[in-house]
Amino acid sequence: MARRFRGSDTFKVDAKGRVSIPAPFRRVIEASDPDWREGLRPNIVIVYGDDRQSWLEVYTMRAIEEIDEQIEDMQRGSPERLMLEERMYGQSLEAQIDEDGRLVLSQRLREKIGLTSEAFFISAGDYFKIWKPETYEETAGSRSRKLADQYPEDFDPRSLLPQRSRG
pLDDT at 49: 94
What residue spans define the domains of the chain?
Answer: 8-152
Q: How many CB atoms lie within 10 A of CB 122?
A: 17
Q: 3-class DSSP state for residue 19?
A: strand
Taking the C-alpha atoms of residue 77 and residue 54, their distance in angstroms, rounded to an integer, is 28
Taking the C-alpha atoms of residue 60 and residue 17, their distance in angstroms, rounded to an integer, is 20
CATH of domain 8-152: 3.40.1550.20
pLDDT band, very low/low/confident/very high, at 1 (cuts 50, 70, 90)? very low
pTM: 0.88
Across the beta sheet with 56-60, what order do the strands follow? Answer: 8-12, 118-123, 127-131, 56-60, 43-47, 92-96
